[in-house]
Amino acid sequence: MGDNTIYRASTTAPVNIAVIKYWGKRDAKLNLPTNSSLSVTLSQDDLRTHTTASCSSTFSGPDTLLLNGSPQDVSGARTQACFKALRGLRAELETANPSLPKLSTYPLRIVSSNNFPTAAGLASSASGFAALVRAIANLYELHSSPTALSQIARQGSGSACRSLFGGYVAWDQGSAADGSDSLAREVAPASHWPEMRALVLVVSAAKKGVSSTTGMQTTVATSALFRARAEDVVPKRMAEMERAIAERDFDAFARLTMRDSNNFHAVCLDTEPPIFYLNDVSRAAIRLVECINAAAGKAVAAYTFDAGPNAVIYFLEQNAGLVAGTFKTFLGHLDGWQTELGNKLAGQAG
């Protein structure tokens, strides 16, 4: 009798928003970055990917992936690298314990959905690859640590390695050629700073003009400012940001976050041809934060922008009325979410 069981595991992974940005690869195949980065994980109540992975000897044909009901191409090198690494770990278990079913040889069926509109222009590759890797790791009963899984998720999309953790997360760039030390780690859990809030503002739902992968490669090849950012600016800021988080120093956290966002967008502008991710509404959001902070006499709000015009504003709960209220008054026509920080991941293996 053959094994007709359908094996299945589900998990969710959160969205993360960097406050010290990843921009530039020293190895495009392994997604090894030219600088370390640090992010804040958002609550899965508002923004997350849910993924179910299944496999069975009764399935035929190639591996498949459905995202929000649409078939996705899984033949790309990044998805294949994740599948290969996870199957390799499962095969090791099967070799060590020959009574285990040979899941590593069965086709995979993966079904994934986001609880935020994919068209919202928010980076979904981070939560998407983090959920994909953990769902398959759970299916294969790998019991790998989040750090070990971060090394696999990184090969799917660099920023995905940071979505394996909640709270405040660093991605250490590492120096090994094989990427074995380019890993994510928890800087502090969300509970360390429970008053932290984020306001996500959808300035534009359009797909970004220049993909992160292409933009980074062009920046590394052409920008004169880039080297100073990677070698001098970011290493200092990583240390300062870790201190600001450890001491719950919002003023320092906010100033570093805004300066790093602006430095990243300056490097984009310094790229040839120049990359413009911000638009007039983004700049209006920056001015609004500057006005709020000037009136408060200290930084009570911090803006940050990724590879697109959408704003994320960080603030503390005690300033929610001031910050969220001001944004509602002046930019209230924008869609978005006010959210907390993500703490625990659901369905964690091990």
Handedness of CA 96, 99, 100, 104 (dihedral sign): positive
- 114 forms part of the interface with ligand 2P0 (CB under 6 A): no
Question: How many residues bind to ligand 2P0 according to rule CB under 6 A?
Answer: 15
Give the one residue of 9, 11, 13, 21 binding ligand 2P0; rule: CB under 6 A: 21
Residues 189-248 that bind ligand 2P0 (CB under 6 A): 212-213
Answer yes or no whether residue 301 interacts with ligand 2P0 by CB under 6 A: no
Query: Radius of gyration (Cα) for the chain, nearest Å?
Result: 20
Residue 159 or 310 having the CB closest to ligand 2P0 = 159
Closest CB 39 distance from ligand 2P0, rounded Å: 6
Task: Using CB under 6 A, pick the residue from 125, 155, 257, 310 that binds ligand 2P0.
Answer: 125
307 touches ligand 2P0 (CB under 6 A): yes
Task: Tell me how far, at minimum, the Cβ of 178 lies from ligand 2P0, in Å.
Answer: 17
Of the candidates 284, 241, 283, 234, the one whose C-alpha atom is nearest the C-alpha of residue 263 is 234
64 lines the binding site for ligand 2P0 (CB under 6 A): no
Stretch that binds ligand 2P0, among 18-26, 63-71, 145-153, 200-208 (CB under 6 A): 18-26
* Selected binder of ligand 2P0 within 123, 142, 244, 311 (CB under 6 A): 123
The minimum distance between CB 340 and ligand 2P0, in angstroms, equals: 19
Calculate ∠ Cα 73-74-76, nearest 5°: 95
Q: Which residue is nearest to ligand 2P0 (CB)?
A: 158
Q: Which residue has the tokens 């805004």?
A: 258
Q: Which is nearer to ligand 2P0, 112 or 159 (CB)?
A: 159
Provide the token pair at 152.
């696999």
Contact present, 147 and 185 (Cβ < 8 Å): yes
In the complex with ligand 2P0, the residue whose CB is nearer, 111 or 268, is 268
Alpha helix segments (H runs only) across the chain: 77-96, 125-139, 146-156, 212-222, 225-228, 234-246, 250-269, 280-296, 320-331
Q: Does 18 bind ligand 2P0 (CB under 6 A)?
A: yes
176: part of which helix (H) or strand (E)?
A: none
Residue 245, strand partner residues: none
**Binding residue for ligand 2P0, selected from 35, 36, 37, 282, defined by CB under 6 A:** 37
Contacting range for ligand 2P0; rule: CB under 6 A; set: 83-91, 92-100, 157-165, 248-256:
157-165
Alpha-carbon distance 231 to 263, whole Å?
13
Q: Do residues 157 and 31 make contact, with C-beta atoms less than 8 angstroms apart? A: yes
Q: According to the binding rule CB under 6 A, does residue 186 interact with ligand 2P0?
A: no
Identify the CA nearest to 87 among candidates 101, 104, 70: 104
Out of 63, 186, 260, 306, the residue judged to bind ligand 2P0 by CB under 6 A: 306
Stretch that binds ligand 2P0, among 15-23, 238-246, 283-291, 294-302 (CB under 6 A): 15-23
Burial annotation 219-247 (CB, 10 A radius, 16+ → b, else e): bbeebebbeebbeebbeebbebbbebbee
According to CB under 6 A, which one of 11, 14, 24, 31 is a site residue for ligand 2P0? 31
Q: Could you give the CA distance from residue 242 to residue 118 in angstroms, rounded to a whole number? A: 31
**Site residues for ligand 2P0 per CB under 6 A:** 18, 21-23, 31, 37, 123, 125, 157-159, 212-213, 306-307
